[in-house]
Structure 1
Amino acid sequence: MSAAVLALVLALAALTAHTAVNAGRWLRRPAGGPVEVTEPVAVLLPLRDEAARLTPCLRSLLAQRGVPRLRIVALDDSSTDGTADVVRAVAGDDPRVTLLTGVTPPPGWLGKPHACHQLAGRADPAATALVFVDADVVLAPYAVAAAVTELRAAGATLLSPYPRIVVRTAADRLVQPLLQWLWLTFLPLRAMERSPRPSLAAAGGQFLVVDRAGYDRAGGHAAVADKVLEDIELARAVKRSGGRIALADGSGLAACRMYENWPQLRDGYTKSLWASFGHPAAAAVVVALLLLLYAAPPLVAVAALVAGAPVVAALATGGYLLGVAGRVLSARATGGRAWPDALVHPVSVVVLGWLTLRSYHLRKRRRLSWRGRPVS
């Protein structure tokens, strides 16, 4: 028993060390201070029923500095809540803003990729960089300029500067930090940038910067028309076309409140987790390993104490603390909240496992939908 627990602790130590190396050495950190880009840039904003939270996002876009040749294209994707009226009210007669009315996705297309496809097709032809921004993102004044500068400095085709995730509820704090923690812990960032393998890819669609020519070579969003995780699949398409991708800590550039309440968060993760893992067997293996590594140690520690096995209890407690340390490292590297949230990391992993199970269950029953549209 003690040998098995020791092996578990050593695996956790290696993973936490990998988190530390990723966060401290390989994670890109774009400068958020005054910077200017001279190339033309198009900011593309897909919108579907975003009236309640669009205003801060659009105001932050209109307040961008350091991009004298900036154009903003917003697309109202069949909204029923007056989203287009909010765009008109906030933008006024600003000549930098164009408002489009989207068309219904044709067969074989999901809503988000189709909206982005329409936006890219109507972007200023002179724009050499495209910046996709979701309506729940609020940008710092030099965010676009800094992100485009980092894209060029990295020599990348696609850059994903991950925003700071705003958490307010207990559900937020349990689930949302797992996004950054997962790729900092399990994805070798340096290898991801250097390797041409599409499987080594990550991206967040909330704030995504792409070189226009590289985007077109990859097939744009037409290449990911039916993909639920269109951001990650676009990064893979870029790699397949010979381009490079990069991740960055965008917590100093942007903030994002992804979901307002638990039902939204639950359904948002449920719609896409099945696509993260692929085959159910792969998902079962990954979830089982995560539970073994991060949820089992505190349970083993308690059981060992009750059974009078202090050495095993001490080892298991060490494993639990290593998991907590990895969560703290991830939070500090990405502008997240470390304490006391990291202490309940085992519970977070259990919730992730349940959401994954729910995702596959509802997909099998063809009951997955988002914003009123089926996704499977």
Structure 2
Amino acid sequence: MSGPDVLARAGAALSLASLGLVAHNLRVIRTPDLDAPAPTEHIAVLLPVRDEASQVRTCVEAVLRAADSCAGPVDVLVLDDGSTDGTAEILADLAASDERLTVLTGAPLPPGWLGKPWACHQLAAAAAPDTRVLVLVDADVTLRPAALSATVDLLRSSGLDLVCPYPRQLATTWSERLVQPLLQWSWMSTLPLRPAERSGRPSMSAANGQLLCVDAAAYRLAGGHAAVRDEVLEDIALLRAVKRSGGRGVVADGTAVATCRMYDGWPALRDGYGKSLWSAFGSPGAAAGVLALLMLVHVGPPVAALRGSRAGLVGYAASVAARALVARRTGGRVTDAWAHPASVLLLEALVVDSFRRRRRGTLQWKGRAVAPGRA
């Protein structure tokens, strides 16, 4: 048997294993209950914003509507982190019409902190002392009316300390349609969700800061955002901190409770992933290993199939099936799954670009320069 045939068979076997894991995770993934009883606990919704004039009104108004579904007090705290695009004026207008909304002005960024952890730290510190649950929401997220009730119920009914109902990802342009569906697929196809809840291993952690719900006491015990002050992927780092302190947490299916459009087109997508992908794998060597594995499992088989390899065809079919199953569950375009090898190739290019731009010191996000070695 030739070397290419061996690689095609190996890739196909791993692709089939990944499909099996996806099928299992789809059966056991936790999902918020839209008919859950209204929570009576004191909840604080924390929303850090910076130059979000185009979407902050939609986000905040949706949060306030979701707060109506709760039986207990809900405080909505928004921190304006130095916006220069009219965000502050929009927030002032919203706060004038709803007493549940408090707008904070962010303090200067201290040494050793990144922007989002610092903003979240200030928001958590401003929450009322009797707050029992903290819900962090990004400005590009739109909550459904039952989102807060369902999310807090999921936290309590699961017995977990942190849950991240993953919003439905909206993708319009070609680059978004290729890359964004990989977000849910990536952890659905590699992480056994129920064991991940209990495991304290850093590699068994997946989280999403777009919509993150955490028990307030567990948050404080873990050190809050001060414990992840210099982390680019602060959401995953916060889950790991919660686990280190004895807590448990996991991602969930938030398709029915929220939507999110992270990036509008290729330039924003490239910059957004550029700021963080370099830190997603732990080291350049680990990143190279992951990229090689992705090539073996999701690019090698379809290439082999074009040469007439049956194993390659099986591997490609398994990859497409896994991607399609995740898309169907999460509201994505099932037909885009046929382009899965192209999606993986584009992701790999984004990873390489992220490392290159970090090395050159040219990474920027929200008007802040990213220094070499730190984002």
Q: Residue in 2 aligned with 1:131?
A: 135
Partner of 1:202: 206
2:20 matched to 1:17?
yes
Matched residue, 2:179:
175
- 1:186 counterpart SS class: coil
- Letter paired with 2:58: P
Give the aligned partner of residue 309 of structure 1.
none
Matches within 5 A, 1:1-376: 1=2, 2-24=5-27, 26-33=28-35, 35-64=37-66, 65-68=68-71, 69-302=73-306, 304-305=307-308, 312=309, 314-339=310-335, 341-375=336-370, 376=374
Counterparts of 1:141 and 1:319 in 2: how far apart (Å)? 41
Shift of 1:91: 3.7
Q: Distance in 2 between matches of 1:297 and 1:374?
A: 40
Query: For 2:299 and 2:81, how far apart are their aligned partners in 1?
Result: 41
Equivalent pair of 2:200/2:240 in contact (CA under 8 Å): no
- 1:215-272 Cα distance to aligned partner (Å, 9 max, x none): 0000000000011000000000000111111211001000001011210111101110
Distance in 1 separating the partners of 2:112 and 2:349: 29
**Paired residue secondary structure (2:334):** coil
How far does residue 173 in structure 1 lie from its aligned partner after superposition?
0.6
- Partners of 2:26 and 2:230 lie apart in 1 by 33
2:293 and 2:161 map into 1 onto residues whose CA distance is 33
State the TM-score, normalized to the length of structure 2.
0.95
CA RMSD in angstroms comes to 1.2
Question: CA separation in 1, counterparts of 2:108 and 2:191?
Answer: 36
Which consecutive residues of structure 2, in runs of 5 or more, have no partner in the other structure?
Answer: none
Q: State whether residues 34 and 66 of structure 1, in contact with CA within 8 Å, keep that contact through their aligned partners in structure 2.
A: no
One-letter identity of the residue aligned with 1:229: L
Q: 1:4 to 1:110 in 2, by over 3 A?
A: closer
- SS state of the match for residue 189, structure 2? helix
Q: List structure 1 segments (4+ residues) > 3 angstroms apart after TM superposition.
A: 1-4
* Partners of 2:94 and 2:59 in 1: CA distance: 10
Taking the aligned partners of 1:207 and 1:11, their CA distance within structure 2 comes to 31
Q: Distance in 1 between matches of 2:63 and 2:258?
A: 11
Q: Which moved more, 1:329-338 or 1:181-190?
A: 329-338
CA deviations on 1:334-355 (whole Å, 9 max, x unpaired) are: 222211x100000000001000
Give the TM-score taking structure 1 as reference length: 0.95
CA shift for structure 1 position 196: 2.3
State the alpha-carbon separation in 1 of the partners of residues 311 and 258 from structure 2: 40
Q: Which amino acid aligns with 2:323?
A: R
Tell me if the contact between 1:113 and 1:225 (Cα under 8 Å) persists in the aligned partners. yes
Identity across aligned pairs (percent)? Answer: 51
Q: CA deviation at 1:53?
A: 0.9
Number of corresponding residues: 366
Deviations 1:47-89 (A, max 9, x none): 1000111111111111123213111000000000111111122
Cα shift readout 1:259-305 (whole Å, capped 9, x = no counterpart): 11210111101110111012101100100110121112222122x24
Runs of at least 5 residues in structure 1 that lack an aligned partner in the other structure: 306-311
For 1:338, give the aligned amino acid.
Answer: V
SS in 2 for 1:251: strand
Distance in 1 (alpha carbons) for counterparts of 2:202 and 2:288: 22
8 Å Cα contact 1:48/1:77 also seen in 2 = yes
In structure 1, distance between residues paired with 2:285 and 2:143? 39
Q: Distance in 1 between matches of 2:65 and 2:95?
A: 11
- 1:342 is aligned with what amino acid? A
Are 1:44 and 1:74, in contact at CA under 8 Å, matched by a contact in 2?
yes
Q: Deviations over 1:103-161 (max 9, x none)?
A: 12101000000000000000122210000001100001010111011001111111111
Q: What is the deviation of 1:13?
A: 0.7
Deviation at 1:315, TM superposition (A): 2.1
Cα contact 1:133–1:206 (8 A) shared by 2: yes
Q: Distance in 1 between matches of 2:283 and 2:35?
A: 44
